[in-house]
A = this chain, B = another copy of it.
Amino acid sequence: MRSIYCGQIREAHVGHSVQLVGWVNRRRDLGGVIFVQLRDREGLVQVVFDPDLQEVFDKANSLRAEFCVQIEGVVRARPESQVNADMATGAVEVLGKQLTIINKALPLPIALDDHQKNSEEARLKYRYLDLRRPEMTERLIFRAKVTGFVRRYLEAQGFLDIETPILTKATPEGARDYLVPSRTHKGKFFALPQSPQLFKQLLMVAGMDRYYQIVKCFRDEDLRADRQPEFTQIDIETSFLTAPEVRAITEGLVTELFEEMLGVKFDAFPTMTYLEAMTRFGSDKPDLRNPLEIVDVADLLAHVEFKVFNGPANDPKGRVAVIKVPGGASLSRKQLDDYQAFAGVYGAKGLPWLKVNDLSKGVEGLQSPILKFLDDQAIQGLLARLEVADGDLLLFGSDSYKVCTDALGALRLKLGEDLGFTRTEEWAPLWVVDFPMFEEDEGRLYALHHPFTAPLNASPEQLTADPLSTISNAYDMVLNGVELGGGSVRIHDNAMQQAVFKLLGISSEEAEEKFGFLLEALQYGAPVHAGLAFGLDRLVMLMTGASSIRDVMAFPKTTTAACPLTEAPSFANPQALEELSLAVKKTDA
């Protein structure tokens, strides 16, 4: 029914007859002539209906927005004055000779020309209309190109696309599992996978050597802006490769992907330890486009007669640090109060500040509510370490290590954005490595990555002797402050896996019940193996500049995990529940 896509017609086609199919993007009557913008997946073209061709002109007169039509016509150059340089097809138009209405459209429930007017609820309810907006169509096309590129890259390197089950056993990887009741084993449940982690490890035990999958994963979490109940992972696992080798392959993938899709050339990614990232940037996924840094000053303030500083400065679990904001001395009291409130969200009890108005005046040139608590030694130390200049602002964090780091880390991002420090046109990828194996909370250990992550250069005995000092062989790829992917060398040794479970407080009975198959598999010649998983949705969101992962998914859910389009979830057939031997105890209104 089509000889060419609307969006592909160019001056080279002038004089050609074309058959087009698509949707009426807009219809205008000007000077007795009807102009129809016809739209398909590849773009727009202007079609002109002339009253000289009475029959087709009359039919064109009945067209309304979003009618689906077939048009036969002849391509001609637009008059010079009407050339539209903003349109790919703006130099040409099609003189309509025949018109068939394939399907009419009722007046639209959402506006397609300016989606800002539509609520997200309405956009999701009429997703099939929302996706007609060129911006949305282009994102889905972009996403399809990304997955195609990723697949070709990995397959060229010997990775096998192997499917793992969606109906799996519950795993305790933090987030809640979605459960699926079994009919043939009443009272039992499958779980939807949070990731194919254990299956991909078993594929390595099976000798598959290089595995990848672009695969749906599921988390029944309370949703935040950037979370979805189902999301897509580029999942990778390899045998017999070291961590740097896995990083090289996946860095190559992302580097070539950005060059292919965006023409962006990356240098080799810098590698930064977790400790450095937390110290300098207050985050394990630092946004390196932002030049602001956190500088430790506990040693300079340990002696001052000011409890807010000397408490944390003398506590081994405390932290006292400063962000220097060039030019920040001009911030108003109101702005400083707002930043203090912002830091308060992260637990900071205050946000002491110091403005450097005029260094030539000495202490007189400084302005700060806490100036009276600082002696000359402290002041000179601060000015020197932070290399201050006139107009600078110092913002102080002083609290437990965690509160101080989190608050200043978040503040750094906000300041960078608010005050224009962050170079938003740049791309800043890096690797973060050398994570601790464990975090401690209320005397319990938690795996920083997951319990299958191998330690770096430690035996089971060494790990058990000093778990909190042990570094894991894990790595995260970070881009512009977003974690694009994370991975690790996995434990391939039964004794090491048992040691980790024990440290995590998993009894041997529990380990056997939940992970018995993994522990058993590690006893039959399991190879060394390592892998990584990328969040595809986030990757495409970053690459397309979309503001939400929902904008790069065809049919996302709302933040309450519902689908306004199909009205899922919905009540189940009572007979189905009977067959599953399930009773609903309480139903939300």
Contact = CB atoms under 8 A, between A and B. Distances in A.
Contacts of A180: 178-180, 192, 569
Interface in A29-66: 39-41, 66
B561 A106 contact: no
A132 interface: yes
A568 B167 contact: yes
A186 B581 contact: no
A568 B166 contact: no
Interface stretch (A266-274, A375-383, A439-447, A570-578): A570-578
A579 B588 CA distance: 12
Contact of A103 (B2, B163, B525, B569): B525
Contacts of A393: none
Contacts of A127: 202, 206
A306 interface: no
Stoichiometry (number of copies)? 2
A188 interface: yes
A79 interface: no
Q: Which of A24, A209, A218 has the most CB of B within 10 A?
A: A209
Q: Which of A70, A169, A516 has the most CB of B within 10 A?
A: A169
A369 to B, nearest CB: 45
A528 interface: yes
Given A68-B527, A106-B524, A583 B580 contact: no
A40 B207 contact: yes
Given A131-B208, A521-B128, A566-B517, A554 B162 contact: yes
A512 B57 CA distance: 37
A165 interface: yes
Given A129-B206, A187-B584, A572 B179 contact: yes
Interface in A134-187: 137, 140-141, 143-144, 147-148, 151-152, 155, 160-170, 176-187
Nearest to A19: B240
A525 B68 contact: yes
A525 B105 contact: yes
A342 interface: no
A146 B166 CA distance: 21
A88 B133 CA distance: 55
A165 B582 contact: no
A502 B129 CA distance: 27
A21 interface: yes
A188 B571 contact: yes
A490 to B, nearest CB: 12
A62 to B, nearest CB: 13
7 contacts: A103-B525, A137-B207, A168-B568, A169-B567, A169-B569, A185-B562, A188-B569
Q: Which 5 residue pairs of A and B lie closest in terms of their CB atoms, listed nearest first?
A: A187-B587, A131-B206, A169-B568, A188-B569, A105-B525
